[in-house]
Chains A and B, each alone.
Chain A
Amino acid sequence: MIIVKGLQKRYGSIQAVDHVSLEIPTGHIFGLLGPNGAGKSTSISIMTGLIDADGGSVELDGLEPKSMKARYNIGLVPQSIALYEELTALDNLAFFASLYSLTPDVKSSRIDWALQFVGLQDRANDRVSEFSGGMKRRLNLAASLLHDPDYIFMDEPTAGVDPQSRNKLFDNVMELKELGKTIIYTTHYMEEAQKLCDRVGIIDHGKLLALGTVNELLHQYGGDTKLSISSEKGVKSFSSANVSEDLTNALRDIDKVYDISMNRPDLEAVFLNLTGRQLRD
């Protein structure tokens, strides 16, 4: 269980995080959604103990993130690729693993597991500098899992990744969930949040604007579904809050339907309705 209360962080005149409060139950995937500069990374940095907040508190199962005990349980997947490019994948993993007081046996089995997990076991002895963007991303994830942490903070783990690596990463996230991990996942890709997350928080200018399951948010902020029916009577477009009822009614006096298009509200629409602007510029 992660409990965040009234988090604040200011950089000069910019309020990077503005009274953010959250609760994330164990085993959930929580998506933190927001455009560039919204305050996602800053929030994660505070939650992992990387930087100090100006105000508010974070508890990971009752522990402060900076406490040594909590640190053994935090896995941070940084937004930038945080690896030594000149070292091999194996050397990187071996080094990061050595920071966690693992016994040699555990250490080597965890390294094997992590390489396997992200599908890089064949490239273990290659230098990171020779890796593709997607491979680096996967290793960036692997390097955060060596100590088998319960809390995994992923800051835009799919940035700059081809669809294949992206799907592999999605699978990884779901596997981690199955292992009972609690995951905080930041992104500005709506599809990712919709696909992966149990609950989503929408953040902009440091403020948490909305919080809930994807369906809750869609229902609450997504607005109506846009329906468009093309028939012998021409094209009829309307919005609907109750699609099945409205569609049944509309089809009643139509003999021949050529086409029906339906535009369901998505998180993009949620964001648009919340902030009045597009999520991705």
Chain B
Amino acid sequence: MKKMIALMLKDFKLLFKDKMAVFFTFIFPLIFALVFGSIFAGDGNGSRALRVAAVDQDQTEQSQQFITELSAADEFKVQLTDEVNAKTLVRKGKLVAYFILPQGFGEDYQSVFSGNAPDILVGIDPSRKAEAGYLEGSLMKLGIKRFENAFTNADALTEQLDRSIIEIEQSDEVPAEWKSLLGDYLPKMRALAQEQQDAGGSISFGGDTEANPMVPLKVTRQDELVQRSGPRNAYSITIPQGAIWAIMGCVIGFAVSLVQEKTLGTMNRLIVAPISRTQIVAGKALGCFVAQVIVVTLLFLVAYFILGVSFDISKLIIAVIASGICFVGLMMFFASLAKTERSVAGMTNAFLIMMGMIGGAMIPLFVMPGWMQAISDFSPVKWAILALEGAIWRNFSYGEMMTPVLILSAIGIVAFILGTRMVKLEDA
């Protein structure tokens, strides 16, 4: 065992001396996960405008004006449509939410000091709590405008009255009877306007008293379940993909190092030394396995602590072990086929990239068209990604985990047996 560990540590040392290998095993997968993750992430949440549908069932001047204000707001990217379409769009996840302005919206919107706060219906997936909060806040901000209008009107009215009272008092042409009449009437009216203005100043929002006209809008939330085909956090997709790229780097690195051992002639030193062939092969396999575990662990640490990807740790361990077995087997298999570093690197690269492409290391599995998903069954990469995703966002049960785990282990064991049988260590 000590000798195997020495073999492994030596390989790690060599791997770290090879800057390209380090890049493709450690740096590239991380960049891949981060770059693609941030591209996908920008689509749904983040700082960009929320994509929403608006349905105007009221068709009044006020409702139309409200939608215009909605469209003008930075927070929203509004698409005007009907109720059925709006619901479909939200359920399919194409839009974040829809607003419905029901009949009577305009009437309530106008009557600032009486009647009800205008109704507005928001349909959104209940899990999108952050968006829902942000959305309601933004709606309220727009709703306040209706008070502002009213307040500026009351203000103008008071001013107007003040000016009128003074004018009438100073005028010589107004008959005395009229002066007395208006002098009595106008201040009363002004007092009324003032009263309204003061009342407006003390409005508190957010109180959800039914029929409280002082609430800017009465938002009713309607749960609209998104028929989900993908996870919430885009990094939940790109981290497993990055892990696959890292694992591929390990596979190529160790397949090359095994062949290199032969071409360099150092394998001869190993064979002549008191270490069995099984130990030599096992040392390489162990090195490849441990390297995979290390790179995947690093990626998931970044995923957890920096990107906010959560996962089930015990299922993740199962997934990593299973894919480790699979790819160690493949490493042995390819190392046994090739005679030179170039050919082993080329062959392994070509195979893994192809498997990666059809297996979801580039295009996520869940967005693949059906025919492609069917082909992907033949790719070990697919099963590795599925196992990793099972531990992250697919919420696999242990039973469900078994499918990818068994397939991965079977591929790995068969490839390993074939590889160790065919590999000729002494063949320099």
Residues of A within 8 A of B274 (CB): 68, 71-72, 99-101
Mask of B34-59 contacts with A, CB within 8 angstroms, 1/0: 00000000000000000000000000
Partner of A84, one of B266, B268, B426, B428: B266
* Of B6, B7, B13, B268, the contact of A78 (CB 8 Å cutoff): B268
Say yes or no: B265 contacts A82, CB within 8 Å.
Answer: yes
**Interface 1/0s, chain B 284-317, versus A by CB < 8 A?**
0000000000000000000000000000000000
Interchain CB contact under 8 A, B3 and A86: no
Residue of B nearest to A41 (CB): B428
Determine the chain B residues whose CB is within 8 A of the CB of A84 once the complex forms.
10, 14, 264, 266
Q: Is B18 an interface residue (CB 8 A)?
A: yes
Question: What number of residue pairs across chains A and B have CB atoms under 8 A from each other?
Answer: 70
Q: Which 7 A-B pairs have the closest CB atoms?
A: A82-B265, A98-B6, A99-B273, A71-B274, A86-B17, A80-B265, A95-B10
Since A84-B266, A87-B17, A99-B275 are in contact, a sample of 9 more A-B pairs with Cβ atoms closer than 8 Å, ordered by chain A residue number, is A49-B272, A50-B272, A71-B274, A76-B268, A80-B428, A83-B266, A86-B17, A99-B270, A99-B274
A66-107 interface (Cβ within 8 A of B): 68, 71-72, 74, 76, 78-87, 91, 95-96, 98-101
Interchain Cβ contacts under 8 Å between A and B, 10 examples: A68-B274, A76-B268, A78-B268, A83-B266, A95-B10, A99-B3, A99-B6, A99-B275, A143-B269, A144-B269
Asked if B266 and A98 sit within 8 Å, CB to CB, the answer is no
**A51 contacts partner chain B, Cβ-Cβ < 8 Å:** yes
Q: Mark B208-237, 1 if CB is under 8 A from A, else 0.
A: 000000000000000000000000000000
Given contacts A86-B14, A87-B17, contact A71 B6 (CB under 8 A): no
Q: Find the residue from A74, A95, A96 having the highest chain B CB count within 10 A.
A: A95
> Which chain B residues (1-24) contact chain A, with CB distance < 8 Å?
2-3, 6-7, 10, 13-14, 17-18
> In the assembled complex, which residues on chain A have CB atoms less than 8 Å from the CB atom of B7?
95
Chain A residue with minimal CB distance to B15?
A86
Contact B273 A100 (CB under 8 A): yes
Chain A stretch 254-280: residues in CB contact (< 8 A) with chain B: none
**Distance in Å from the Cβ of B281 to the closest Cβ of chain A?**
15
- Interface flag for B156 (CB, 8 Å): no
Q: What 0/1 pattern do residues 88 to 129 of A give for CB contact below 8 A with B?
A: 000100011011110000000000000000000000000000
Q: B271 an interface residue at 8 Å Cβ cutoff? A: yes
**In the complex the two chains form, what is the Cα distance from A87 to B314 in whole Å?**
38
How far is B264's CA from A82's CA once the two chains are assembled, in angstroms? Answer: 6
Closest B residue to A74 by beta carbon equals B272
A8 CB-CB contact with B under 8 Å: no
Residues of the A chain whose Cβ atoms lie less than 8 Å from the Cβ of B265: 78-82
Residues A78 and B269 in contact, CB atoms below 8 Å apart: yes
Is there contact, CB below 8 Å, between B13 and A76?
Answer: no
Closest beta carbon of chain B to A180's beta carbon, Å:
21
Please tell me which one of the listed residues A51, A87, A98 contacts residue B2 in the complex, with CB atoms under 8 A apart. A98
Chain A residue nearest to B270 in the complex (CB): A99
Check B264 against A76 for contact (C-beta < 8 Å): no
B25 to chain A, nearest CB (A): 16
Contacts of A51 in B (CB 8 A): 426
The minimal Cβ–Cβ distance linking A65 to chain B, given in whole angstroms, is 8
A45: chain B residues within 8 A (beta carbon):
268, 426
Pairwise interchain contact B272-A48, C-beta atoms closer than 8 A: yes
Q: Is the CB of A76 within 8 A of B10?
A: no
Taking a contact as CB atoms under 8 Å apart, the answer to whether B268 and A50 are in contact is: yes
Q: Spell out A's residues near B (CB within 8 Å).
A: 45, 48-51, 68, 71-72, 74, 76, 78-87, 91, 95-96, 98-101, 143-144
Q: Is the CB of A83 within 8 A of B264?
A: yes
B273 and A71 within 8 A (CB): yes
Please report the C-alpha to C-alpha distance between residue A50 and residue B426 in the assembled complex, in whole angstroms. Answer: 7
Shortest CB–CB separation between residue B4 and chain A, in angstroms?
10
Considering the chains assembled together, what is the distance between the CA atoms of A98 and B10 in angstroms? 10
Residues of B contacting A74 in the complex (Cβ-Cβ under 8 angstroms):
272
Chain A residue numbers with a CB within 8 Å of B13 are 87, 91
Q: Are A95 and B272 in contact (CB under 8 A)?
A: no
Contact A98 B268 (CB under 8 A): no
CB distance from B427 to the nearest CB of A (A): 9
A237–B3 CA distance with the chains assembled, in angstroms: 65
- Which of B2, B3, B17, B269 makes the CB contact (< 8 A) with A76? B269
Distance in angstroms from A96 CB to nearest chain B CB is 6
Which residue of the partner chain B has the closest CB to A70? B274
CA distance A101 to B1 in the complex (A): 11
Complex CA gap A144/B274 in Å reads 13
CA distance A101 to B14 in the complex (A): 22
- Give the nearest-CB partner of B427 in chain A: A51
Inter-chain contacts of A99 with B (CB < 8 A): 3, 6, 269-270, 273-275
A80's nearest neighbour on chain B, judged by CB, is B265
In chain B, residues 121-166, which have Cβ atoms closer than 8 Å to a Cβ of chain A? none
Give chain B residues whose Cβ lies under 8 Å from the Cβ of A81. Answer: 265
Whether B264 contacts A95 by the Cβ 8 Å rule is: no
| Nearest B residue to A129, CB-CB | B17
Closest Cβ of chain A to B75, distance in Å, is 56
CA distance A101 to B4 in the complex (A): 12
| Contacting residues, chain A, for B2 (C-beta < 8 A) | 98, 101
Q: Which residues of chain A have C-beta atoms less than 8 A from B272's C-beta?
A: 48-50, 71, 74, 76
Residues in B with CB closer than 8 Å to A101 are 2-3, 274
Distance A71 CA – B270 CA, assembled complex (angstroms): 11
CB distance from A58 to the nearest CB of B (A): 13
Whole-angstrom CA separation of A50 from B267 in the bound complex:
10
Query: How far in angstroms is the closest Cβ of chain A from B251?
Result: 20
Contact residues in A for B264 (Cβ distance below 8 Å)? 80, 82-85
Give the Cβ gap from B8 to chain A, nearest Cβ, in Å. Answer: 11
In the assembled complex, which residues on chain A have CB atoms less than 8 Å from the CB atom of B266?
Answer: 82-84
Q: Are B14 and A98 in contact (CB under 8 A)?
A: no
Distance in Å: Cβ of A93 to nearest Cβ of chain B = 11
What distance in Å separates the Cβ of A215 from its nearest Cβ neighbour in chain B?
33
How many Å lie between the Cα of A87 and that of B271 in the bound state? 20
- Smallest distance from the beta carbon of B299 to chain A beta carbons, Å? 26
Chain B: minimal CB distance from A84 (Å): 6
How would residues 237 to 279 of chain B score, 1 for a CB under 8 Å from any chain A CB and 0 otherwise?
Answer: 0000000000000000000000000001110111111110000
A81 to B428, CA, bound (A): 12
A96 to B10, CA, bound (A): 10
